[in-house]
Structures are given as structure tokens and as C-alpha cells.
Structure 1
């Protein structure tokens, strides 16, 4: 009598056998099936596989690297990975991230302070990557990065793209911070006078 062979479990780790229906199913496709990818239904998902004499159809179910089964298996593997909470994930990276962020902020503030003391404009006409002169702020930061390895490690290309601290809005915020601190210092120095 032709029937399901238990040794198939060794070859096809994703197989699950139902004693109720007497047929094997694809466990990962059952859990993560996308109905649009199984247009007419799939024996390994809906009814169970019953063509015992055609083991090649089990391999055909797996299909190519971009098949629905392989996508579902990838989703299953990602689901089963031991995960840490968001807080733990952020916490493990936060010390290094904070140190780099602080260094990036420090160098940006040093550039701002230099330009403010010299009374120079911050931005240029064309700040694109292909521009010969990207403005005093970016040029000064790029000069520091080219000449000092400690600066180069945390700014421009070596900074996260969403935290480079070179955008004109960031420049305005840094200038406003300097203005606020300067005004605060003057008021404190004057006291009650």
C-alpha cells in the first residue's frame, strides 16, 4: 500500500502530518500563506497531499528560490528567531550611538562657533554633492573630516543618513541655540543692573 513515509520528515522539515485527514501539509505555508499566491488553493495548504506515488510533487511545492513556499519559510524563520525587546535592542546600541552622536554634535557646534565668530555665511548657493563649494559650514566640516580621523569617523559619510547634522534646518537650530545661550549668559552677567 502506498502511503506517507515517516522518513519524509527528515528530508522535508516543513511537513506536518494530520492523523485526522491522513494527509501531510506544509506547516510554514499553512501559517504564513498569502491567498494571492495560491490562486486555486494548494494541496499542501488546504486539502493535504495525497499523491503518495509522486514524491516529485513535494519538491515541486518547494519550487524556486522566489517561490511562495520559500517566502513563507523565510517568514517562519524570522518569526522563530529569539528576539529581544525594542528597549533591549536600543539599549545595546545606545552607548555607542550616544557617543558618536555627541561627537558629531560637538564637531558641528565647533563649526557653527567658528563661522559665527568670523561673521561668515553658512550656506552656499549650491550645496549638492557635485558642487565645488557646498557652503562654509559643509566645507569646514569636510575639511575637518579630511584632516582629523576622529572627526572623519563620526561625520558626513560615516554618520547615519538621517543624523548627519548638516541640513540647513539643523544649522539654523544650532545657531538659535548659540543665540539663546549667549543671550542667557549676557542676562546672567548683567544680573539686577
Structure 2
């Protein structure tokens, strides 16, 4: 093989290293992928916990200044910072320690998580109603930007005989005609309920 520094000797050494399972390229890449996946799950759980707290207490997410030098970055970032304060695992993979394209703090990510919560809540309400009937209350109003929006509330009696009213959501509509409102209601009901289960529904439309 010649001297240690000769190319043949180096090639043989690399071959021996490659044949060792713990030092093979595939094994190293597999371990790296597992670590990245584990870090991503820790980061995602922390983000979901922050969103859940804000939703439960009906608090705003965003702040006016979310830069690193800001003293108040908004409730979402501040709560996430609080969660990781005494947890080294979360601290090491979130905010400034997370990959730049995988921080999970963007408004889009927050909205996706909120939508997931919304779907799960509506699903639990529909499971509680089951095959029974329910009433629907619909109210329409315009917001400060003059956009028409419709609120939907379900009223039903649960298995214990208790009357409940559950807020389903706010839907933006182009106008307040009956066809437009019905189409919006059908869209909301498309995944979990059917309009056939609705009894004695009322639609309140303000005159002003």
C-alpha cells in the first residue's frame, strides 16, 4: 500500500469506515433525519400550546413590533418565550435557535393551527348532536371595513336534556340575499352536518 499518505492507503481507510454500520453515510443521514424530526415535533408542540392558550382566553396573537429588539413582541411570541424559559429542549429548537425556514411562528402557520382547532371543535359539537336535530341562529352585520359577515350559532338539546348554544363561526358573504346566506350555511355544514337536521331555524338580518 505504500506510505500512509498515499492515495491507496487513504482509499482503503475510507472503505473500512464506510463498512462500519455506525459510521456509514446512510446511518449518519438517518440519525440526522431522526434528530430533525424530533426537533420539529418539539417546536410544533410548543407552537400549538401557545395558540391553544391564546384561543382559550380569546387573546390576540400578533404584536406591532416582533423584531428581536422589541420589548413586547406580541402575546404569541411572548408566551412561546415563556414556555421555553425553563425547558432546555424547547429552548434549543425554537425562535432564534430554529432553522430560518422552520420557526413555525408565521401568521400563516398560526392560522393553519387555529383552523385545525376550529375543525376539531365543530366536529365535537356535531358528535354531541349526533343524528338529532338542532336549531340555527344566523345574524348578519358589516364590520368596520364595510365587509358583510354572518355569524352562525347552533342551538340543540344534549343527551342530558340541557339546552346548549354553540358558536360555529363567522363567514364573510358578498351580500345579504337569502340565496347567498343559504349557500354560506350549506358550505359550513358540508363537512359535519346536513341542513336536514336543522329545525325552526331563524335568520336575523338588521335593517340598517
Query: 1:130 is matched with which residue?
Result: 69
Q: Superposition pairs for residues 41-60 of structure 1, below 5 Å?
A: none
Q: Which residue of 1 aligns with 2:51?
A: 112
- Alignment match, 2:126: 187
CA distance in 2, matches of 1:84, 1:148: 32
Which residue does 1:139 correspond to in 2? 78
Instruction: Give distance in 2, aligned partners of 1:176 and 1:185.
Output: 14
- Partners of 2:25 and 2:89 lie apart in 1 by 32
Structure that is richer in strand per residue: 2
Q: State the match for 1:92 in structure 2.
A: 31
Q: Per-residue CA shift, 1:140-165, capped at 9, x if unaligned?
A: 10122223223212211221111111
Pairs within 5 Å for 1:161-176 = 161-176=100-115
Find out whether 1:121 has 2:60 as its counterpart.
yes
Structure 1 residue runs of 4 or more that deviate by more than 4 Å after TM superposition:
82-85
Once the two structures are overlaid, the 10-residue window that deviates more, 182-191 or 115-124, is: 182-191
Compute the TM-score of the two structures, normalised by the length of structure 1.
0.52
Distance 1:84 1:149, change over 3 A: closer
Aligned to 1:52: none
Q: Which runs of 5+ in 1 are unaligned?
A: 1-12, 14-81
| Cα deviation, residue 84, structure 1 | 5.1
Corresponding residue pairs, total: 120
* Distance in 1 of aligned mates of 2:31 and 2:43: 20
Q: Report SS of the residue matched to 2:53.
A: helix
For 1:171 and 1:100, how far apart are their aligned partners in 2? 18
Superposed CA offset, 1:160-179 (max 9, x none): 11111111111111111111
In the TM superposition, residue 122 of structure 1 has moved relative to its aligned partner by: 0.2
1:11-50 maps to which residues of 2 (within 5 A)? none
